[in-house]
Amino acid sequence: MRPITIHNVHTHVFTLRNIPKRFLMRGLVDIFKRKVPAKIAAWILRNIIPFNHSDKPQRMAVFAEAAIHNTQEDIFKQLVGFYPPGSRFGIMSMDFDYMGAGKPEKDFMSQLEELAVLKSNHGDQVVPFIAIDPRREGITELVKEYINEHQFGGIKLYPPLGYFPFDERLFDIYAFAEERGIPITAHCSPSGVHWQGRKKEEWRTHPRTGEQLKARSKRKFTDYFTHPANYYWVLDKFPNLKICFAHFGGAPEWDKFLDVSWPLRKQLPKENIKEERFVSRQDVSWLAVIIDLIRTPLYPNIYTDISYTAYKPRYLPLIKILVNNDKLRNFILYGSDYYMVLMDESERAFSITVRGFLGEDDYRQIAETNPKKFFQFNSHKE
């Protein structure tokens, strides 16, 4: 049998110098920039401080370990070492400049420039995605520059940093992406990295439904930005967009899917899905919403990846079932969310566990066949 060319569609290689000072607890970003303190802190966080239901200690440990690497090239070389030769990697950039946590030592533009060098050095092995934020001046022109001139392979959305995906300032980018078939990966799981500034008064009402958004903590509140139902208003206008909903909804929503008894609900209308309201989907697992979006014929280019989420063994049987569903099989992608997945699992263990459970045919489907189609687009310049 021909060896599988593994495509990990969802990874990160940004460094500690790319994140704002208040991203972690006060002062830790600066401490972690020195290698010896970073190594000591990582050991303490991994071995002495007991982890609880908060992900803060795990996250700090991961960033302390990542801090030992000075460049994205350093982190990429470590990532490559976990996979067979010839593997390919979708690398998601992150625009932290507008998350209300201060300015990073190396801003987003510096991160992109370094990622462009990484692409130049490694060719087709690297598929960089440019992060977009509607608050960045000239973002449409920047996307076109990095797609056309630097051979970036896709676009990254991260709404919990403080925006809704249907922000009209992004529409020109969506039109460009739809026309060329450029893949978009959208963060789609609760919690994670999120807006750190003060909540704005206008955010307390959902702009499309008028629903009052009442969550108090910033982490919970930014889930309103992230909810997959927000994309109904994007896809209504750009139905042929190629979008991957990263993390397949995330671990809390998989638990909801597996453990919670849901009230009976109407099946999504085959020809009028756009009338679904955000407010009517709040009690439904995000996993189910994403499945509905993939299955509807109105939006033929909806994908999802299992990055990070697949670290829990209890989810593997469900992944197996979903991959073998005829309407979903061609749209599920392998991803790990390196290096974020290191909070709970080593990179090699994550990959081998998924591959071993699914078997070679199903693993080839999500790690080679589907990603090749997802990454492909018309690269001809305007």
Predicted pLDDT of residue 53: 41
Confidence of residue 342 (pLDDT cuts 50, 70, 90): confident
Whether 352 shows a pLDDT value over 50: the answer reads yes
Percent of the chain with pLDDT over 90: 65
**Nearest C-alpha neighbor of 334 from the set 373, 359, 313, 363:** 363
Which of 186, 315, 342 has the alpha carbon at shortest distance from 251? 315
Distance, in Å, from the CA atom of 182 to the CA atom of 303, rounded to the nearest integer, reads 13
Percent of the chain residues past pLDDT 70, beyond the cut? 81
With a cut of 50, say whether residue 79 has pLDDT above it: yes
pLDDT at 192: 79
Instruction: Give the model's pLDDT for residue 36.
Output: 44
The pTM (predicted TM-score) of the whole model is 0.89
Report the alpha-carbon angle 350-99-39, nearest 5. Answer: 50
pLDDT for position 209: 84
Spell out the residues 6+ positions from residue 381 whose beta carbon is closer than 8 angstroms to its own: 148
Q: Which residue ranges form the domains of the chain, and what is each CATH number?
A: 7-375 (3.20.20.140)
For 310-329, what is each residue's pLDDT tens digit? 999 999 999 999 999 999 99
- Taking only the tens place, the pLDDT of each residue in 106-152 is 999 999 999 999 999 999 999 999 999 999 999 999 999 999 999 99
Q: Which band of pLDDT confidence, cut at 50, 70 and 90, is reported for residue 45?
A: very low
- The average pLDDT across 175-200 equals 93
Q: What is the mean pLDDT of the chain?
A: 86
CA dihedral 169, 174, 177, 178 (to 10 degrees): -160
Residue written as token pair 């026309």: 179
pLDDT tier at 275, thresholds 50, 70, 90: very low
Determine how many CB atoms are found less than 10 A away from the CB of residue 173: 23
